Chain A
Amino acid sequence: ELKVEQNPLFLSMQEEKNYTIYCNYSTTSDRLYWYRQDPGKSLESLFVLLSNGAVKQEGRLMASLDTKARLSTLHITAAVHDLSATYFCAVDNFAGKSTFGDGTTLTVKP
């Protein structure tokens, strides 16, 4: 059974500081995704990581993938209030099965 673990589950951040969310998964997977969910809203796709060493960046967010360690990280640079949301990582395989982590709720405070 594929398991996906995120940590921390809750993160209170100060503006302008840097932080990292970790996503571990239990078995070999084909793709890793990062999504953002604002309160009461749907999920928005942020990144798709396909191969070992893949790195993608969008604004203050950077995601990376280490398939050997079965670890992905979402790094937040110089946090701002607009980044407050819940972030999910998810993995799937070519057979269509997908598994999500429990989510990390970020709160950015002045």
Chain B
Amino acid sequence: EAQVTQNPRYLITVTGKKLTVTCSQNMNHEYMSWYRQDPGLGLRQIYYSMNVEVTDKGDVPEGYKVSRKEKRNFPLILESPSPNQTSLYFCASSLGIDRVAGYTFGSGTRLTVV
């Protein structure tokens, strides 16, 4: 089944403890992106990647890191999480930014930082 897989689905952590949220797609998509969703704020883009080894900042990149060493994986790294990073996170992918297709979203990761 074609899908975007995020792990974990739920995570409670403490301030300052480094964590990684994984994202993997099995559709050979070139483009991948991370968003956070907060009540009343819609989805805001954190980082995106047009292809392997190419990443760029979205609107809210502070406090996050990403890497794209393989086409299928696009992990989101929080080096020192803070309570204001408590949110619902979504990973998404598409064939390529120049192609006609909506994004395929993962199931989401609900992160709580205490």
Give the B-binding residues of A (Cβ under 8 A).
4, 31, 33, 35, 41-48, 50, 88, 90, 92-103
Contact = CB atoms under 8 A, between A and B. Distances in A.
A45 B42 contact: no
A97 B42 contact: no
B102 interface: yes
Given A42-B90, A46-B102, A48-B102, A94 B42 contact: no
A97 B105 contact: no
Contact of B45 (A35, A44, A98): A98
Interface of B: 31, 33, 35, 40-45, 48-50, 56, 58-59, 90, 92, 97-98, 100-108
A91 to B, nearest CB: 11
B42 A96 contact: no
A4 B45 CA distance: 13
Nearest to A86: B42
